[in-house]
Amino acid sequence: MAETNRQITLAARPVGYPKESDFKLIETPVPVPAEGEILIRALYLSVDPYMRGRMNDVKSYVPPIQIGEVMGGGVVGEVLESDNPHFQEGDIVEGLLGWQEYAVSNGQGLRKIDPEIAPISTALGVLGMPGLTAYFGLLDICDPKAGETVVVSGAAGAVGSLVGQIAKIKGCRVVGIAGTDEKVAYLVNELGFDATFNYKTTDNYYQKLQEQCPGGIDVYFDNVGGEITDAVFMLINTKARISICGQISQYNLEKPEIGPRLLWTLIVKQARVEGFLVFQFADRYAEGILQMARWLKEGRLKYAEDIAEGIENAPQAFIGMLKGQNTGKQLVRIS
Ligand code: NAP
Ligand code: FER
């Protein structure tokens, strides 16, 4: 075991897109577990869009990260020592342990991972928070039916790539929107999406969606917001369901965008828009993980991971993810 614990802390509150200088790598002693606690060595760190919000000095469902505090976030790690009857040395666990190489925990909120089911990194992706977001956000909030047209934005990311595949499993026609030609080709060729476009090289989103959704849009799973979402609103069908999962196009803006006012489309189409947090489904996580694992095993669900190496590269991996450099789930492997 190393003698020091390398940690990434918040050095400054970002203005616009975060930059490397907003983070600081520090070294502290490896923590010593107290009575009833366990010591965990991190193997994979998760970097997620929600962390951008936690870097602002705004209270949300959890308090913001303070300057000098270790960046919060999901981790998969190995138990090195345990004084807790529920965990043994060698167990693989997942929990909110933050961007650091070692952490102690009293076991609360930690989930034991079975490495036989799937690679352990999936506990931060398809079999973890993003997978549950896709599963409940699509099936519960949008109730997609066979034959309906489902549009998903942020379609090549951790959540979006799973949303599209679940919609295909349910017999829907799926249209995905993402930011590179490689991503949109991957969605069609590897994941079975019916149509896709690259929003960075498309001028008129409305016209493109009209072409790709000749029967209109029944379900919209929104990961991005902004102009893409405005175009979708203009093409929804009667009784459409829209789930607001994320609005990543807005997270790094210095000034809030004033967009077109399109809520009237909801009146005419008697449509429903619902925001959700994956945590509201906590009492049903087991159901979601079981179903996603089953689809994985049956080969009906594929997943991609983009893996950066070393904790020192976590800030760059996070910034890169916010700018679209990832396909599938962005992770950081701790060697
Ligand atoms: P992700 O999609 O793997 O990564 C973020 C992606 O966002 C990037 O790869 C990039 O892809 C895209 N993006 C960045 N800026 C954009 C812009 N201005 N316009 C359009 N797309 C942009 O991340 P994720 O973890 O799966 O999260 C996806 C969304 O779900 C996020 O909005 C996140 O906040 C939300 N989320 C919500 C919950 C919840 O409980 N509600 C839980 C998890 C995630 P491109 O190359 O396509 O631009
Ligand atoms: C996310 C975006 C936003 C997310 C949570 C939130 C778990 C919540 C934000 C808030 O409460 O302000 O991707 O994922």
Same domain assignment for residues 141 and 270: yes
**Locus of tokens 């066979």:** 146
Same domain, 202 and 140: yes
Q: How far is the centre of ligand 1, averaged over its atoms, from the C-alpha of 228 (Å)? A: 13
State the distance from the centre of ligand 2 to the C-alpha of 50, rounded, in angstroms.
Answer: 5
Asked if pLDDT for residue 59 goes beyond 90, the answer is no
pTM: 0.98
Whole-angstrom distance, CA of residue 168 vs CA of residue 147? 10
Q: What is the pLDDT of residues 279-311, one digit of tens each?
A: 999 999 999 999 999 999 999 999 999 999 999
Q: Tell me the mean pLDDT in the region 167-178.
A: 99
Q: For residue 285, is it within any domain? A: no
Higher pLDDT, 1 or 18: 18
- For residues 145 and 218, membership in a common domain is answered with yes
Ligand nearest to the CA of 152: 1
Quick: pLDDT tens for 23-45. 999 999 999 999 999 999 999 99
Question: Which residue range(s) make up the domain with 257?
Answer: 129-279
d(CA 179, CA 192): 18
Residues 134, 112 share a domain: no
Predicted confidence band of residue 126 (pLDDT cuts 50, 70, 90): very high
User: How close is the Cα of 198 to the center of ligand 1, in Å?
Assistant: 15
**Mean pLDDT within 121-137:** 99
Ligand nearest to the CA of 280: 1
Judge if 203 and 263 occupy the same domain: yes
Pocket of ligand 2 (CB under 6 A): 49-50, 53, 60-61, 246, 277-278
Summarize the confidence of residues 211-230 as an average pLDDT: 98
Q: Look at residue 61 in the predicted model and tell me its pLDDT.
A: 78
| The pLDDT of residue 62 | 82
Please report the pLDDT score of residue 330 as a whole number. Answer: 99
Statement to judge: residues 257 and 147 lie in one domain? yes
Residues 117 and 140 in one domain: no
Residues contacting ligand 1 via CB (< 6 Å): 48-50, 130, 133, 154, 156-160, 178-180, 183, 223-224, 245-246, 248-249, 276-278, 321-322, 324, 326, 330
What is the number of the ligand 2 atom nearest to the C-alpha of 247?
2
What distance, in Å, lies between the first and last C-alpha atoms of the chain?
A: 12
100 and 235 fall within a common domain: no
Please state the domain count of the chain.
Answer: 2
Residues 6+ apart with CB under 8 A from 109: 95, 96
Asked which of 279, 296, 321 is the last residue of a domain, the reply is 279
CB contact at 8 A, 93 and 119: no
3-class secondary structure per residue, 65-119: CCCCCECCCEEEEEEEEECCCCCCCCCEEEEECCCECEEEECCCCCEEECCCCCC
**CB 231: neighbour CB atoms within 10 A?**
24
pLDDT of residue 169: 99
- For residues 135 and 237, membership in a common domain is answered with yes
122 band by pLDDT with thresholds 50, 70 and 90 = very high
pLDDT number for residue 2: 74
Greatest extent of the chain over all pairs of C-alpha atoms, in Å: 64
Indicate the pLDDT class of residue 211, thresholds 50, 70 and 90: very high
Average pLDDT over residues 98-119: 98
Reply yes or no on whether the pLDDT at 64 is more than 90.
Answer: yes
- Residue 60 predicted with pLDDT over 90: no
Same domain, 74 and 155: no
For strands 149-153 and 195-198, give the pairing: unpaired
pLDDT at 1 exceeding the cut of 90? no
The domain that contains 207 carries what CATH number?
3.40.50.720
Confidence band, pLDDT 50/70/90 cuts, at residue 3: confident
Q: Whose CA is nearest to atom 14 of ligand 2?
A: 50
Nearest to residue 90, comparing CAs of 140, 24, 41, 31? 41
Examine the pLDDT at 170 and tell me if it is beyond 90: yes
Residue 298 within a domain: no
Q: Is residue 145 part of a domain?
A: yes
Instruction: Identify whether residues 175 and 91 lie together within a single domain.
Output: no
- Tens digits of per-residue pLDDT, 244-265? 999 999 999 999 999 999 999 9
Indicate whether 145 and 110 sit together in one domain: no
Q: Whose CA is nearest to atom 12 of ligand 2?
A: 60
